[in-house]
Amino acid sequence: MKSLVILISGRGSNMQALLEAGFQADRITVISNNPNATGLEIARKYGAKTIVIDHRTFPDRQTFDTALAEKIDACQPKLIALAGFMRILSDRFVQRYQGRLMNIHPSLLPAFPGLGTHARALQEGIKIHGCTVHFVTAQLDHGPVVIQAAIPVLPEDTEETLAARVLQQEHRIYPQAVRWFMEDQIRFTENHVEVIDSSVREIALYSPGLPE
């Protein structure tokens, strides 16, 4: 079964990009830890099943992760895609879904893991910034890279303008990475990305260049 589970905590703009991509999936389920996430209503408009598991009702992270895993397993997903899911997952949870858990991060990993990536990029004065789709491993934001998009940092950029331009590329490359996995063009093997279809190598880095 080619089932896809998407995890969100807020609006889920990357979730929406995935839903608009029109994957050949038997079922798409959106799960949120936040009952007030606006992305839930967006997901329903696209015909996705939605589930809420409020993390605040659980005594600790492990108990929440166990409940979340039960809901995910009931969906029998080929892939779990994190799309603005603002919960740190336990090592046990990550290991349970190793090779089937994907995330998008707003930097060119391994640069700037964690939060505040755009502000840190500007503070460091880098000339190239971007985003990365990667498989999730126990080490935060250090899993094998699937695809990246690189954009120039412009002299007039602020944190907000840089974030907006990076987000545009997130919406471009995340659906591409998920499609590759769902269509068996790539897979996670021995802690690296194995390419099944050679054409994937040609577009694993997208560089749109200067804005018009």
CA distances from 24 to 27, 78, 101, 172, 202 (A): 9, 12, 18, 18, 23
pLDDT value at 118 more than 70: yes
Given 105, 118, 134, 171, which residue is catalytic? 105
CATH 3.30.70.580 fits 1-97, yes or no: no
Please give the Cα distance from 206 to 4 (Å, whole number).
24
What topology is assigned to 104-212 in CATH?
Answer: Rossmann fold (3.40.50)
> Residue 55 catalytic?
no
Kindly give, in sequence order, each residue whose CB lies less than 8 Å from that of residue 117, ignoring residues fewer than 6 positions away.
105, 106, 107
Q: What pLDDT, in 10s, does the model give residues 125-145?
A: 999 999 999 999 988 888 999
The pTM (predicted TM-score) of the whole model is: 0.92
C-alpha count within 13 angstroms, C-beta hemisphere, residue 126: 19
Q: What pLDDT, in 10s, does the model give residues 63-94?
A: 999 999 999 999 999 999 999 999 989 999 99
Q: Which two tokens stand for residue 34?
A: 């936040």
pLDDT at 201: 61
Q: Give span(s): CATH 3.40.50.170, the chain.
A: 1-97, 104-212
Q: What pLDDT, in 10s, does the model give residues 24-72?
A: 788 999 999 999 999 999 999 999 999 999 999 999 999 999 999 999 9
Of the listed ranges 14-23, 90-99, 167-176, 184-193, the least confidently predicted one is: 184-193
